[in-house]
């Protein structure tokens, strides 16, 4: 399979972002990304303006973020604007499904800060919905906002923005684990929610969620069945197929890129990648490869199973369940959250 690295959940000047799509693509290229998905608020203007395609060697795709005051929903792969409905997000989900798109509940839990946008949050309000395809478990700008707990802390984060990044949202992970344990094909997503906005602190101009930084933070790695060809429609299909099948992982690539990571289920008769559903046999085992020394945690149905240290990891004595991996990268004297995979089902 072919690995590609991209970034999902980006805003441009077509809504409240600070950069043009071509400028964003150029920064993505410098960060070593293969694809990006721009998701401006409430519009597909970039799509209609012909912005999709390869720019600066990066595959640019256009989706959108639906709803305004709450229940934000990322709509990927749609061709028509999806109407806002903050009060009844099920109608939004249904419309994305009608267009055969991929729908993701965005930054579902936020605390907010009175020092950032006067405490505004954009949480998901209705958990009675169904038929969505993903939940955003890791969102940088939400964590940055929540970390602004005082004036001094806010100023510190403006000049040291990486300090605002923490582990994925525990509550979102719990909901995801419960959904997957029920057999639902709902997958984990992450993004920086990059805006690239410039403000002034006194006389000094600074950037909030600058693109060049965000593209080194929460990235999405996919495994495609076929190699990119350079053709927009073919390569776009490969990206959405991999995302739709959950053949992907989320990683903080800032301290060490996760390129080359693998999480596979193996037996004497075959090998299966992330996102697979496999019938139980006694000889099944998990193979995990991390591109650096890491602490790898195997979880089953959201619960801790086993830990391994090193670069090559094997887990045996498996039982039916939903399995995923969390990997923690050793940086100086601490372990940092690094890689969170989508699951493999053993039925």
Residue by residue, DSSP assigns 42-92 as T--HHHHTT--EEETTEEEEEEEEE-SSS--EEEES-SSPPPP-SS-HHHH
Task: For residue 28, give every residue at least 6 positions away whose Cβ sits within 8 Å of its Cβ, in sequence order, or none.
Answer: 7, 36, 56, 58, 211, 215
Token reading at 223: 């495994």
pLDDT, position 333: 80
- Which helix (H) or strand (E) segment is 208 a member of? strand 204-208
**According to the model, what pLDDT value does residue 207 have?**
79
Spatial distance between the Cα atoms of 179 and 342, rounded to a whole number of angstroms: 12
pLDDT of amino acid 310? 96
Question: Each residue of 231-241: pLDDT tens digit?
Answer: 999 999 999 99
Q: Half-sphere exposure (CA, 13 Å, Cβ side) for 81?
A: 12
Contact assessment for residue 321 and residue 299, using Cβ atoms and an 8 Å cutoff: no
pTM, to two decimals? 0.95
Q: Which CATH superfamily is domain 2-252 in?
A: Metal-dependent hydrolases (3.20.20.140)
- 């209609």: which residue's tokens? 48
In the numeric block, the tokens 């890689």 are attached to 339
Burial (0-12, 13-18, 19+ Cβ within 10 Å), 56: middle
Q: Is 304 helix (H, G, I), strand (E, B) or coil?
A: strand
Q: Where are the domains of the chain?
A: 2-252, 262-346
Tell me the two tokens of residue 275: 């996102």
- Alpha-carbon distance of 217 to 56, in angstroms, equals 20
**How confident is the model at residue 208, as a pLDDT?**
82
Residues of the chain whose pLDDT is less than 50? none
Rounded Cα–Cα distance for residues 237 and 243 (Å) = 10
Residues 51 and 73: their CA atoms lie apart, in Å, by 21
Q: Residue 245: count other Cβ atoms within 10 Å of its Cβ.
A: 18
Tokens 């390569």, located at residue: 235
Reported as a single tens digit per residue, the pLDDT across 73-124 is: 999 999 999 999 999 999 999 999 999 999 999 999 999 988 888 888 999 9
Where helices occur in 81-146 by DSSP H, the ranges are: 89-98, 140-146
Q: What pLDDT sits at residue 128? A: 95
User: What is the third-level CATH fold of 262-346?
Assistant: Immunoglobulin-like (2.60.40)
CA dihedral 252, 257, 260, 261 (to 10 degrees): -30
């Amino acid at each position: 399979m072919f690995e590609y690295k991209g970034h999902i959940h980006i805003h441009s000047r077509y809504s409240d972002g600070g950069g043009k799509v071509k400028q964003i693509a150029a920064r993505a290229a410098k960060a070593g990304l293969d694809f990006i998905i721009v998701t401006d608020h409430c519009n597909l203007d970039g799509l209609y303006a012909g912005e999709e395609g390869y720019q600066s060697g990066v595959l640019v795709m256009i989706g959108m973020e639906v709803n305004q005051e709450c229940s934000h929903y990322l709509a990927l792969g749609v061709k028509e604007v999806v109407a806002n409905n903050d009060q009844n997000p099920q109608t939004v989900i249904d419309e994305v499904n009608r267009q055969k798109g991929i729908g993701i509940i965005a930054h579902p839990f936020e605390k907010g800060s009175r020092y950032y946008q006067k405490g505004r949050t954009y949480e998901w309000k209705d958990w009675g919905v169904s038929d969505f395809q993903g939940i955003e478990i890791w969102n940088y700008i939400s964590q940055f906002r929540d970390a602004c707990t005082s004036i001094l802390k806010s100023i510190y984060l403006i000049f040291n923005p990486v300090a605002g990044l923490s582990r994925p949202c525990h509550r979102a992970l719990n909901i995801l684990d419960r959904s997957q344990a029920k057999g639902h094909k709902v997958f984990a997503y992450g993004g920086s929610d990059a805006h690239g906005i410039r403000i002034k602190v006194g006389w000094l101009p600074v950037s909030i969620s600058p693109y060049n930084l965000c593209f080194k933070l929460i990235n999405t790695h996919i495994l495609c069945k076929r190699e990119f060809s350079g053709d927009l429609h073919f390569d776009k299909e490969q990206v959405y197929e991999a995302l739709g099948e959950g053949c992907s992982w989320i990683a903080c690539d800032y301290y060490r890129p996760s390129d080359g990571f693998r999480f596979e289920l193996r037996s004497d008769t075959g090998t299966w990648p992330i996102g697979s559903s496999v019938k139980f046999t006694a000889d099944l085992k998990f193979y995990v490869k991390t591109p650096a020394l890491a602490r790898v945690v195997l979880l089953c149905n959201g619960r801790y199973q086993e830990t391994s240290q090193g670069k090559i990891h094997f887990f045996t004595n498996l039982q039916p369940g939903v399995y995923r991996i969390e990997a923690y990268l050793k940086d100086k004297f601490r372990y940092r959250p690094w890689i969170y995979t989508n699951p493999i089902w053993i039925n």
